[in-house]
Amino acid sequence: MPDIHYISSELLDLPTLQEIITHQKTLELSEEAILNINKSHDYLHQKLKKHDSPVYGINTGFGSLFNVKISADNLSQLQENLVMSHACGTGDFVPIPIAKLMLLLKIQSLSYGYSGVQLKTVQRLVDFYNKDIIPVIYSQGSLGASGDLAPLAHMSLPLLGKGEVYINDQIVSAQEMLKTYEWEPIELQAKEGLALLNGTQFMSAYGIHCLLKSHKLWYLANLIGAASIDAFDCNMSPFDKLVHLVRPHSGQIHTAEQILEFLEGSEIGASEHKMVQDPYSFRCIPQVHGATKDTLQFVSKTMKTEINSVTDNPNIFVGEDTIISGGNFHGQPLALALDYMGIAMAELGNISERRTFQLVSGLRNLPQFLVNNPGLNSGFMIPQYTAASIVSKNKQLATPASVDSIVSSNGQEDHVSMGANAATKCLQIVDNVETILAIELMNASQALVFREPKKSSPFVESFLKSYREGVPFVENDRLLANDIHTSVGFLQGLTIDNELLF
């Protein structure tokens, strides 16, 4: 039996999404979802038969063309034209895992029965997801206001047999894909194009992807930071729970507890003659990492609300017998959250690089640049440069996108969120932090060898033993770029239990 996730009104959350992704679950529409979709679709078409009054996006033009009435004979062409004309994306391709998440989140939103789409349209999106037919989507083009119009248009084109898709990581035309699976193109009916394009699934998919990775990187920052604490022979008193209970930020308390758990049984930690105080990059790990954790919790709450919402327009309320044009497609909640997450994750990288800097500085009985025969060997001098360069780049990327806006659609869309730019920037920051932490891990692993015969904790030593299988101790200068790439791959390959992350 395949592992199935049923699309229903049951709330999606991060652990559920992690399970769907990790276990490669297939999707299936529940009876509830099918009922909701059909009820909304039938209501809309009965409404159109009985009434000829203009309803935005259903029998009118779009954006500033909202006052142009469209005849009943042209409603299908109107929706197809909408998808084609809005597919104006540029830039890099959206990573495949994020594009696949966009499909999942769009299916979820349409399943609530407020959008008026055909069942077969939603089912085709489910088929795309289950068969790993992933639309080719561009990363630039959305203002994050009337939904993610351009990216979602590219996501929707293959329904019509247009655009391109990935099949087995190869790009093929959507027309060729339809022939392969013996499918007919979907003929969009009233409102369907608008339901597909209005929505925040581009921003949301980036946000969920970044959140899942950020929670993992927060855990790894604590673990690598713990290794650095012993590598720098730090005083353990700043992690005492008494310190944190008198300033009880949740993330701070959690971080301090985790550091103590990681370093339990450390010979280095138990040794005497410690410095009275350590640099802030070590001593204030609970305060800095903890603040990032609290930010991730806030962003998680925002994203959970968003992915369980209806974000297209107009919305169809069958029970109330009304169709309302509103603004649920506006990405402001996401834009602010994504900027906040980017800033918080940039700080996780910032403090990590400072620990790397301290470790290579020739302090506390460690050799300069963590290598024998410094001078002849440059050792770990330049990995710190690399980390510093990435940290500086992250500072530039962390400038908020959400404070910007630009008028579009002839003045009709006069405030936009720029949440899509916040989303793509956030992903760059998160990926960069992964590399910064990998460089810190290289340095901490190297430095701890110079503490022998004293050992760190059994947990940290076990972690480093596994790591050193790919990145052994550096005796003399070698090509460290390879070690950096191997370190990044090592972190990417680690699987961490959900209960430790969320």
Indicate which residues carry an active-site annotation.
56
**Could you tell me whether strands 138-140 and 90-93 are parallel, antiparallel, or unpaired per DSSP bridges?**
antiparallel
Single-letter code of the amino acid located at 440: E
297, 302, 307, 308 alpha-carbon torsion, rounded to 10°: 100
CB 268 within 8 A of CB 230: yes
End-to-end CA distance of the chain: 29
- pLDDT for the residue numbered 75: 77
Q: Taking the alpha carbons of 134, 135, 137, 143 in that order, is the dihedral positive or negative?
A: negative
Query: What are the beta bridge partners of residue 474?
Result: none
Tokens encoding 263 = 């370093």
What is the model's pLDDT at position 57? 63
Nearest Cα to Cα of residue 63 among 443, 325, 379, 249: 325
Question: Measured between alpha carbons, how far is residue 403 from residues 118, 334, 419, 477, 486 in Å?
Answer: 38, 13, 10, 46, 38
Beta bridge partners of 26: 4
Q: How far does Cα 10 stand from its chain's mean position? A: 22
Predicted confidence at residue 265, as pLDDT, reads: 97
Q: What is the pLDDT of residue 453?
A: 96
Domains of the chain plus CATH, in order, are 4-199 (1.10.275.10), 206-310+324-501 (1.20.200.10)
Strand 26-29 to 90-93 pairing:
unpaired
Q: What is the three-class DSSP state of 138?
A: strand
| Tokens of residue 294, six digits | 């609290």
* Identity of residue 464: L
pLDDT given for residue 273 in this prediction: 75
Strands 322-324 and 315-317: antiparallel
Of 365, 496, 345, 366, residue with least CA distance to 443: 366
d(CA 321, CA 344): 45
> What would the 3-class secondary structure string for 248-293 be?
CCHHHHHHHHHHHHHCCCCHHHHCCCCCCCCCHHHHCHHHHHHHHH
CA atoms of 502 and 300, how far apart (whole Å): 9
- Which residue type is seen at 436? I
Task: Tell me if 240 sits within 8 A of 368, measured CB to CB.
Answer: no
Tens of pLDDT along the chain (502 residues) come to 569 999 999 999 999 999 999 999 999 999 999 999 999 999 998 888 877 777 766 777 666 666 677 676 777 888 899 999 999 999 999 999 999 999 999 999 999 999 999 999 999 999 999 999 999 999 999 999 988 999 999 999 999 999 999 999 999 999 999 999 999 999 999 889 999 999 999 999 999 999 999 999 999 999 999 999 999 999 999 999 999 999 999 999 999 999 999 999 999 999 877 788 999 999 999 999 999 999 999 999 999 999 999 999 899 999 999 999 899 999 999 999 999 999 999 999 999 999 999 999 999 999 999 999 989 999 999 999 999 999 999 999 999 999 999 988 888 888 999 999 999 999 999 999 999 999 999 999 999 999 999 999 999 999 999 999 999 999 999 999 999 999 999 999 999 998 898 8
Distance CA(315)–CA(297), nearest Å, equals 30
Per-residue confidence (pLDDT) for residue 56, from 0 to 100: 67
